[in-house]
């Protein structure tokens, strides 16, 4: 009965009762944040439009990183460039001792040709995978950079009153570096971005097609891990008219595809941790009357629990190799491990939820669902407590469920969300610093 009552409360209020505590007093600089966010909004918009008009792909954000580094230096940050190829890190040391809080923005755009008709539309082109392509901030990273620069501006004006240190991390290649190159959050961590000074907590946000100005959060898992696999099945080539003279890898591959679906339907407790196994490519053969020697399958694995993630990998390999062996074929499975589960630290989320409500308005802060998309912010969260939230950018007169989503050439972000993002990120940093470790 108690569990049922708890479920009713969650469904009725959109939030867990453990987070309904009375909000603590605002940090002493909260009123300053309100004023500054209004004063600098035109500059934040200008930054966003400039980044949008001049997008750059992962590990190629040279113009972008120079602008960011120059702006941070003007604000009095200690600036390090060239981190993980093109990353920029700024350190602002407050006038009093205290914790170290990190704020992160990604910088890279996508190989997408923009179709949105705005005055600052991207016409940029670049080479990707050997082909020329349009380049667009189709995932909204232009907004993230502008918001974090606005946050850096606000915090710089309060430097002498800060009880601690703020580290701003502008990260390249969140969408993935070019093939064969290291990059992204994982590489920044390898290059000690969370050290010197050592970070105590990290915060990040991402624009998403929720109603403009809304903040959507979730304690624990919020975004899935993302891994890919390639299965090569080798049979024995023969004439299509005499299949018994060979071993048909197409039939074997088909059996593997069907059997992979039983991993989720029969071995994963989806009431606790949803997961997905999808085969997105099946390649093999070149003629109707030839049984080919080899076929290739490629797919993705999404999970919200690291143990489930590892178990699925094991089961994919077991199913593929055993089915192939039973048919007289062989199968090899290769994994490319992508991003881990984006998991918000539960205690940190509980602590900072009142901040979100105060900064964005309690009516605009909502407990959100799990989403199968992935984020390499998760690498930071594996090292230090972290919280990642979504910022709604769908115009008020549009239905969030029907607008083009991130990665679409028609993705559009309402700029009225920008000051909300600045207030949220700035207050997260301040409340964390004034609250101590």
Q: Which residues are catalytic?
A: 339, 415
Q: How many angstroms separate the CA atoms of 366 and 343, rounded? A: 17
Helices and strands, counts by H and E, the chain: 11, 18
User: Are 64 and 145 spatial neighbours (Cβ–Cβ below 8 Å)?
Assistant: yes
User: Are 247 and 320 spatial neighbours (Cβ–Cβ below 8 Å)?
Assistant: no
User: Are 335 and 187 spatial neighbours (Cβ–Cβ below 8 Å)?
Assistant: no
User: Are 341 and 377 spatial neighbours (Cβ–Cβ below 8 Å)?
Assistant: no
Phi and psi at residue 351, in whole multiples of 5°?
A: -65, -40
Closest CA to 88 of 204, 4, 154, 172: 172
Q: How many angstroms separate the CA atoms of 69 and 78, rounded? A: 10
User: Are 154 and 168 spatial neighbours (Cβ–Cβ below 8 Å)?
Assistant: no
Beta-carbon contacts of 44 under 8 Å, excluding residues fewer than 6 positions away, are 146, 147, 149, 150, 418, 419, 422
């Amino acid at each position: 009965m108690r569990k049922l009552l708890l479920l009713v409360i969650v469904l009725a209020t959109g939030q867990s009762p453990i987070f309904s505590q009375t909000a603590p007093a605002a940090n002493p600089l909260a009123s300053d944040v309100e004023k500054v966010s209004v004063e600098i909004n035109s500059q934040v918009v200008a930054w966003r439009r400039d980044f949008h008009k001049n997008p750059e792909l992962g590990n190629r954000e040279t113009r972008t990183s120079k602008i960011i580094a120059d702006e941070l230096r003007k604000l009095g940050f200690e600036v390090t460039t060239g981190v993980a190829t093109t990353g920029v890190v700024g350190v602002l040391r407050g006038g009093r001792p205290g914790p170290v809080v990190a704020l992160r923005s990604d910088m890279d755009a996508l190989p997408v040709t923009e179709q949105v008709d705005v005055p600052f539309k991207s016409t940029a082109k670049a080479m990707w995978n050997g082909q020329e392509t349009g380049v667009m901030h189709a995932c909204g990273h232009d907004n993230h950079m502008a918001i974090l620069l606005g946050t850096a501006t606000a915090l710089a004006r309060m430097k002498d009153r800060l009880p601690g240190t703020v580290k701003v991390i502008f990260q390249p290649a969140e969408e993935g570096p070019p093939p064969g190159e290291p990059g992204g959050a994982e590489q920044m961590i390898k290059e000690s971005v969370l050290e010197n000074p050592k970070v105590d907590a990290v915060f990040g946000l991402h624009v998403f097609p929720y109603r403009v100005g809304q903040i959507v959060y979730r304690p624990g898992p919020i975004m899935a891990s993302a891994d890919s696999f390639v299965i090569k099945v080798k049979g024995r080539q023969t004439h299509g008219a005499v299949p018994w003279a060979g071993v048909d890898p197409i039939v074997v591959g088909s059996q593997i595809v069907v059997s992979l679906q039983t991993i989720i339907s029969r071995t994963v407790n989806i009431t606790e941790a949803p997961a997905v196994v999808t085969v997105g490519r099946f390649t093999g053969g070149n003629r109707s009357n030839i049984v080919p020697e080899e076929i290739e399958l490629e797919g993705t694995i999404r999970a919200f629990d690291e143990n489930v993630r590892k178990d699925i990998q094991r089961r994919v390999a077991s199913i593929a190799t055993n089915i192939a062996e039973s048919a007289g074929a062989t199968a090899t499975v290769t994994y490319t491990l992508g991003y881990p589960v984006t998991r918000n630290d539960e205690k940190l989320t509980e602590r900072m939820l009142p901040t979100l409500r105060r900064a964005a308005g309690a009516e605009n802060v909502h407990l959100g669902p799990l989403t199968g998309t992935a984020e390499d912010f998760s690498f930071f969260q594996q090292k230090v407590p972290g919280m990642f939230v979504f910022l709604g950018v769908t115009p008020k007169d549009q239905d969030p469920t029907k607008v083009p989503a991130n990665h679409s050439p028609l993705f559009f972000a309402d700029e009225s969300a920008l000051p909300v993002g600045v207030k949220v990120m700035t207050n997260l940093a301040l409340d964390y610093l004034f609250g101590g470790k």
